[in-house]
Chains A and B, each alone.
Chain A
Amino acid sequence: MANAIIAERLGKTYGSVAAVVDLDLAVPEGTVLGLLGPNGAGKTTTVRMLTTLIIPTSGQCEVGGIDVIAHPNQVRRIIGVSGQYAAVDDYLTGYENLEMVGRLYHLGKRKARKRAKELLEQFELTDAANRPAKTYSGGMRRRLDLAGALVVQPPVIFLDEPTTGLDPRSRLGMWGVISDLVKAGSTLLLTTQYLEEADRLCDDIVVMDHGRAIAQGTAAQLKAQMGGERLAVAVSERDELGPAADVLRSVGIGEPEVDDQAREVSVPIDRGTAALVEAVRKLDAADVTPTNLEIRKPTLDDVFLTLTGQPAEEQEIGGTP
């Protein structure tokens, strides 16, 4: 399968600040690549380079087989871009916004109008079609912006933090829309700071931090790097921690970790629910009553913590260049 997006040793420097350093990407046609990282990791800069908005300081990139730096205008014909801040004209209605974008793709008046109506319907904006975008909610603006990116049904779509700032319901709606795009065969590159989002939407994930790719793989592969599942037992009394740790040692494959503060013991396991069942029996026999008992699968949060030494959320300082 051909790659729809390729970046080779791509870099962008602002003065002495390196926003992106030696980034390599390869996104096969019809797949979704997630750029995952905190604010300031270089995700937006990467998208802006790939979408012809800024010129890289070093390296090469291709979209749809076209050299982005040499032929930006040809690239613009085959991409759709939806930015971090919905680039919607407040004073135009939803319909006018989309019609304008269609006209600027040179669809011609009639086709631009027809396409605007189709998209409004597809994104459930028909009722608000003739209201100025200023009156739209955050979720509606995002959908309108995304619709603007899809006017010519581009084969390659870039979405920069498509759900940042949306409420949970709007986010779910946006995920549905994005999944549909993928089913329709588009190649997608999306950036996100949400681990759950990358996990759910992306075939392949590149974790970025300080302008560099620090890990790459499927969500499952990244989680596997963290070791497998863990069995965790929480108890109500501190003196139950000792017996609980003994039980877990016998069902697990390593030394249990005891968290005095949380009154919790956990251990790595390799037998899944079988280990859980055995632990329940032994805990009962030892007269330990757990307040919580669960198998923990590693999350991408754990991945981030391990890779960068800090949780993704706590790194949210500084702006995105």
Chain B
Amino acid sequence: MVLEAANDGWVVTKRNLLKIKRVPDLVIFSTIQPIMFVLLFAYVFGGAIATPGVNYREFLIPGIFVQTVAFGAGVTAIGLADDLQKGIVDRFRSLPMSRGAVLFGRTSSDLINNVFTVIVMSVTGVIVGWRINDGFLRGVAGYAILFLFAYAMSWISAVIGLSVKSVEVAQSAGFIWMFPLTFLSNAFVPTSSLPPVLRPVAEWNPISSVVLALRDLWGNAPAGVARGTGFPAEHPIGLAIGWCLLILAIFVPMSIARYRRAASR
């Protein structure tokens, strides 16, 4: 059973990845976009806050990474809505394949896309002066958390894709909630600069935890820049992993339940 499920998930993943091969424009734009983000944020925002002795650009890069993979996960909603609309999900559902395969295949292929994006961004980041300062292992650990987060976000996106009626709706519904989520965080500004009411929200925001975890692991959180207060500031790594697991625990079963219902409308 487990083997069959893994086979089904892989077959669907491969099918989704083939689309990237068939539509080369997708590859071009998914390469340009992360490069553009790194450059824009690094040079436009990077100079906005001048803190003596602090490389703000280095501080900013993990935030850009996290925001970009979050938006990259939004693609999951579009892919699923598209499959539902075109009737491909009907074909899948009339086959004796494992129940979660379409969802695991979709989230896996979207994760692979995100990995590709992060590689492009990392290279661009290094070119503009960003570095992993605390060694290989902590570097890898940072990437692991980043990808875990991207994968978890994909499952939220999956629930959205299965709940909307069309691809067009998925295109906006899949992304709109990410703007407050990513900007109400420490991704681009220190939380200490926010109004007091919003500060705790931003500090407990999963995005902030992941960003702070990356900064800590990669040595990108210079002492001169405020990192917030309390538990989120003291245990960002544990909290980041906890958030991702919590998101998965809620949204994986919810997606599977929605998938069954969405397809049986």
Q: CB within 8 Å of B: which residues of A?
A: 48, 51-55, 73, 76-77, 79, 81, 83-92, 96, 100-101, 103-106, 132, 145, 148
Question: Are B93 and A53 in contact (CB-based, < 8 A)?
Answer: yes
A151 (CB) vs chain B CBs: closest residue: B95
Question: Are B23 and A76 in contact (CB-based, < 8 A)?
Answer: no
Closest Cβ of chain B: how far from A109's Cβ, in Å?
A: 10
Residue B92 CB within 8 A of the other chain: yes
Of listed B90, B92, B96, residue having the most chain A CB within 10 A: B96
Asked whether A83 and B19 contact (CB < 8 A) given A55-B264, A77-B96, the answer is no
Closest Cβ of chain A: how far from B221's Cβ, in Å?
A: 42
B interface majority secondary structure: helix
Q: CB within 8 Å of A: which residues of B?
A: 4, 7-8, 11, 15, 18-19, 22-23, 86-88, 90-97, 101, 263-265
CA A86 – CA B88 in complex, angstroms? 8
Asked whether A106 and B15 contact (CB < 8 A) given A53-B90, A55-B264, the answer is no
**Count of inter-chain pairs, beta carbons less than 8 A:** 71
Other-chain contact of B91, A48, A73, A81, A106 (Cβ < 8 Å): A81
Residues in A neighbouring B265, C-beta threshold 8 A:
54
Asked whether A103 and B11 contact (CB < 8 A) given A55-B264, A89-B88, A91-B18, the answer is yes
CA A104 – CA B11 in complex, angstroms? 7
Other-chain contact of B95, A92, A101, A145 (Cβ < 8 Å): A101
Task: Supply 13 further A-B pairs (C-beta < 8 A) apart from A54-B264, A83-B87, A103-B11.
Answer: A51-B94, A52-B93, A52-B94, A53-B263, A55-B264, A87-B86, A90-B86, A91-B18, A100-B11, A104-B92, A105-B97, A106-B4, A148-B91
A80 (CB) vs chain B CBs: closest residue: B94
B4 (CB) vs chain A CBs: closest residue: A106
Residues in B neighbouring A148, C-beta threshold 8 A:
91
Residues in B neighbouring A77, C-beta threshold 8 A:
96
Can you list 6 residue pairs at the A/B interface with Cβ under 8 Å?
A: A52-B93, A54-B264, A91-B23, A104-B8, A104-B92, A104-B101
